[in-house]
Amino acid sequence: MTLTQLGDSPSTRDPSRLCALPAAELSRRIARGDVTARAVVDAHLDRINEVNPTVNAVTAVLGESALAEAARIDSAVAQGQPLGPLAGVPFTIKENIDVAGQPTTDGVAAFRDRVAAVDAPAVAQLRAAGAIPLARTNMPDLGMRWHTDSGLFGATRNPWNAALSAAGSSGGEAVALATGMSPLGIGNDYGGSIRLPSAAAGTVGLRPTAGRVASASSTNPFPPPPTLQLFAVDGPMGRRVEDVRLAYELMCGPDSRDPKWVPAPVRQQVPDPIRVAVATDPGADGVHPDIALAVRRAADALADAGAIVEEADPPQVLGAAELWRTLTTAELQGALDHVIRPLGSADASTYLEQSMAHVARLDLAGYVDGLAKRHAIAAAWSDFYAGYDLVLGPVATQPVHAVGFDLGGPDNADALWHSHRLVVTVNLLGLPALVVPVGLDRSHLPQGVQLIADRFRESTCLHAGLLVERALGSITPIDPT
């Protein structure tokens, strides 16, 4: 397999190479007047035209409005007016996050004309920082698969290997970033939907603490059920840790539409040295040897940078993952009959049916007891963090699954959930977690790891991610194979 990394070009100042640059570098060049916002937007529009027919990650291009905004920013630069920290930088947005004047489809044909009146909070905050909405990105119907295949837009292709899943549900966003169609994006994460696609694509993604980034929708009039309130967050995605850090800090502002938003300080002091618990095989229930090697590679990078690194398994991972599954299933049972089957694709219904097949059904008493158990597990993790600042572990304990694997029956659905046990533990507990790439495996496919901190300690995740990135490098953007 031959991969062409766009960033390898010696002529990255050439506008044709602008789509290879990090978002932070683009913002610096625009502010200095080295390049225009128009040239940056044009370069990414050209890249979408070039690459998207192959990978199907972008679902709608906002070219006209993006160019108009770029002209406004170029005028501000020429006149010496103050600029936002992301002025002129294009960004992409997942299909279930509101962009004013655009449909919020959730990947569902029935919602193709459901136009948002106003931006979602994270979109509004990046726009206020000068960033330019460029395009929408693909997702499975209503986010209900660990594979990005939409009944409205079709499947997104993994740019590293078309036989493998791009994962989900923010798979379109991760692939757009990986292939240089976007330098920055917004996804969301209820069961790994930022982190799993980021690992599969070789990009960076941050799942913030629950309550950290405000979230609201003008297109969905229904209040979110309890597990969505507790487990789901919007978060930044990119190719470099610096870009994700910058976007994250800008996305953390208040929004009166979200009563769950927490006014915690955005930047926290990072311990020195960082104490890292390495969980190569979380829950001690099996890990692929290539995945274990990737975690150890990141552990070595942190140790070389001065971190205190120890093998230590965080508490109750298997029980936490099982609890996430039973609680979400309790709520999704009703959604299957009243939302997914009537509105979603046949594959979305099949996946959800298979994923629930071996899950114990909870009555009201069981649901209440499950929420109480969540508190006990959270207390155990809080106690664990008294001795460590960070947990380093795999994203999934098995390599990226093949296209179609998730529709192969209940046993396959069980295998995916089991592989994702550390991912969904983070969701259950509302913790922050950063996925950062650590190189390629023996099959020349990207590998990523999770850096998980205690609540509202994103600064520790991001600092450690920078250390790993400096040691092991970045592997995107790429041309799809």
pLDDT in tens for each of the 481 residues of the chain? 233 455 443 333 344 489 999 999 999 999 999 999 999 999 999 999 999 999 999 999 999 999 999 999 999 999 999 999 999 999 999 999 999 999 999 999 999 999 999 999 999 999 999 999 999 999 999 999 999 999 999 999 999 999 999 999 999 999 999 999 999 999 999 999 999 999 999 999 999 999 999 999 999 988 899 999 999 999 999 999 999 999 999 999 999 999 999 999 999 999 999 999 999 999 999 999 999 999 999 999 999 999 999 999 999 999 999 999 999 999 998 888 888 899 999 999 999 999 999 999 999 999 999 999 999 999 999 999 999 999 999 999 999 999 999 999 999 999 999 999 999 999 999 999 999 999 999 999 999 999 999 999 999 999 999 999 999 999 999 999 8
420 assigned to some structural domain: yes
User: Which CATH number covers residue 92?
Assistant: 3.90.1300.10
Sign of the four-CA dihedral 277, 282, 283, 286: negative
| Residues linked to residue 207 through DSSP beta bridges, in sequence order | 433
Q: Do the beta carbons of residue 207 and residue 189 sit within 8 Å?
A: yes
Give pLDDT, residue 10. 33
- Domain extent for 219: 12-472
pTM confidence score: 0.96
Q: HSE, CB side, 13 Å, CA atoms: give it for residue 201.
A: 41
**Residue 17 contacts by C-beta under 8 Å, 6 or more apart in sequence?**
6, 9, 11, 43
Task: Tell me the C-alpha distance between 8 and 6, whole Å.
Answer: 5
Catalytic residue among 27, 165, 182, 193: 193
The helix/strand/coil state of 275 is strand
Question: Tokens 């997914």, residue?
Answer: 340
The alpha carbons of the chain give a radius of gyration, in whole angstroms, of 21
Distance spanning both ends of the chain, measured CA to CA: 7
480 assigned to some structural domain: no
Q: What are phi and psi of 346, to 5 degrees?
A: -60, -40
Catalytic residue among 94, 170, 355, 459: 94
CA-wise closest residue to 23 among 83, 93, 86: 86
Catalytic residue among 27, 150, 165, 169: 169
Give pLDDT, residue 410. 97
* Token pair in block for residue 202: 């070789």
CA-wise closest residue to 126 among 208, 30, 234: 234
6 assigned to some structural domain: no
CA-wise closest residue to 202 among 43, 457, 3, 403: 3
* Token pair in block for residue 375: 């508190």
* Token pair in block for residue 426: 């983070």
Give pLDDT, residue 221. 83
CA-wise closest residue to 146 among 320, 367, 396, 467: 396
Structural domain count of the chain: 1
Give pLDDT, residue 13. 36
Question: Tokens 């298997």, residue?
Answer: 318
169 is annotated as an active-site residue? yes
CB atoms within 10 A of CB 60: 17
The pairs formed by 470-475 with CB atoms below 8 angstroms and a separation of 24 or more are 470/305, 471/301, 471/304, 471/305, 472/297, 472/298, 472/301, 472/437, 472/438, 472/439, 473/439, 474/7, 474/239, 474/240, 474/437, 475/5, 475/202, 475/437, 475/439, 475/440, 475/446
459 is annotated as an active-site residue? no
160 assigned to some structural domain: yes
65 is annotated as an active-site residue? no
1 assigned to some structural domain: no
